[in-house]
Amino acid sequence: MTTRKQTPNDFLKQIIGRPVVVKLNSGIDYRGVLACLDGYMNIALEQTEEYNGGQLKNKYGDAFIRGNNVLYISTQRKK
């Protein structure tokens, strides 16, 4: 039996439409629903919240994050 390893691209395709955390190089976190992304890691989020130091700073409807600012993206547990 062979097990297929999941690539980062597979992971990103699976999480579209799910809650995510996007951490920027500056240390700021954006949490929201992943609407779409492209090959440059440009990210569109819906229902976006901005956190700095773990504290909620602002809420946005939709947000676009330029890929060169992204440190990582991860799934977020539902509240």
CA dist 3 → 6, 7, 10, 63 (Å): 9, 13, 15, 37
Q: What is the pLDDT of residue 1?
A: 55
Q: Domains of the chain: which residue ranges?
A: 8-75
Which amino acid, residue 12? L
Which pLDDT does position 69 carry in this prediction?
Answer: 95
- 47-51, 54-58, 63-67, 73-77: which has the minimum mean pLDDT? 73-77
End-to-end, the C-alpha distance of the chain in Å comes to: 37
**DSSP label of 25:** T
pLDDT in tens, 3-48: 678 888 888 889 999 999 999 999 999 999 999 999 888 999 999 9
Tokens at residue 39, please? 């090959």
How far is Cα of residue 18 from the mean position of the Cα atoms in its chain?
A: 9
Pick the CATH number of 8-75 from 3.30.420.40, 2.30.40.10, 3.40.50.2300, 2.30.30.100: 2.30.30.100
